Chain A
Amino acid sequence: MSLIAIDALRKSYGSNEVLKGIDLKIEKGEVIALIGKSGSGKSTLLRCINGLETINEGAITVGGQQLVNDELHLRNLRQKVGMIFQQFNLFPHKTAGQNVMLAQQVVKKKPKAEAEAMARRMMERVGLADKFDSYPDQLSGGQQQRVAIARALAMEPTALLCDEVTSALDPELVAEVLQVVRDLAKEGMTLVMVTHEMAFARDVCSRLVFMHQGRIHEVGRPEEVFANPKTPELRSFIGMAH
Chain B
Amino acid sequence: MSYHFNFDWVATYWPVFLSGIWMTIQLILVGGICGIALGIFCAWARTQGPRWLGWIVAIYVELIRNTPFLIQLFFIFFGLPAIGVHMNEVAAAMLAMVINLGAYSAEIIRAGIEATPKGQFEAGASLAMSPIQTFRHVVLVPALQKIWPALASQVVIVMLGSSVVSQIAVQDLTYAANFTQSRTFRAFEAYFASTLIYLGLAIVLRFALLRFGDMIFATRRRATR
The short answer to whether A and B are in direct contact, CB under 8 Å, is no
Residues of A within 8 A of B (CB): none
